[in-house]
Amino acid sequence: DTEVTQTPKHLVMGMTNKKSLKCEQHMGHRAMYWYKQKAKKPPELMFVYSYEKLSINESVPSRFSPECPNSSLLNLHLHALQPEDSALYLCASSQMGLAGGLYEQFFGPGTRLTVL
């Protein structure tokens, strides 16, 4: 059983819609991540939050807007998406070590997003 949960499991949205993906972790981790994964490809990092502050943004388009309300929750707000944004969106969390380094990541089950 995963200790990282994501909702919804599936989402279909039009290009003019606004929607949000939600992620919650129950392991006391202080770092959380959003990844985008296309079929048969490895996950691509979008955002990293450590101690609820955005620490890495891999040049993701502004139509994706992350939010970290607290150390257990991570949201991804979606607006004016394109059909090529259709993918599996994975959330992950990890512990943080001394000097800010991170340990192995634990992934949620993902949200399958389809943009029409």
Which residue ranges make up the site for another protein (CB under 8 A)?
A: 2, 31, 33, 40-43, 45, 48, 50, 55-56, 58, 88, 90, 92, 97, 99-110, 112
In whole angstroms, the minimum distance from the beta carbon of 10 to another protein comes to 11
In whole angstroms, the minimum distance from the beta carbon of 42 to another protein comes to 4
Token pair 């620490």 is found at 55
Q: CA nearest 46: which of 75, 83, 70?
A: 75
The answer to whether 20 touches 76, Cβ cutoff 8 Å, is yes
In whole angstroms, the minimum distance from the beta carbon of 19 to another protein comes to 19
Both structure tokens of 41:
């490809």
Give burial (CB, 10 Å; 0-12/13-18/19+) of 30: middle
In whole angstroms, the minimum distance from the beta carbon of 112 to another protein comes to 8
- Between 26 and 41, CB nearer to another protein: 41
- Between 60 and 80, CB nearer to another protein: 60
- Between 8 and 58, CB nearer to another protein: 58
Phi, psi of 17 (to 5 degrees): -75, 160
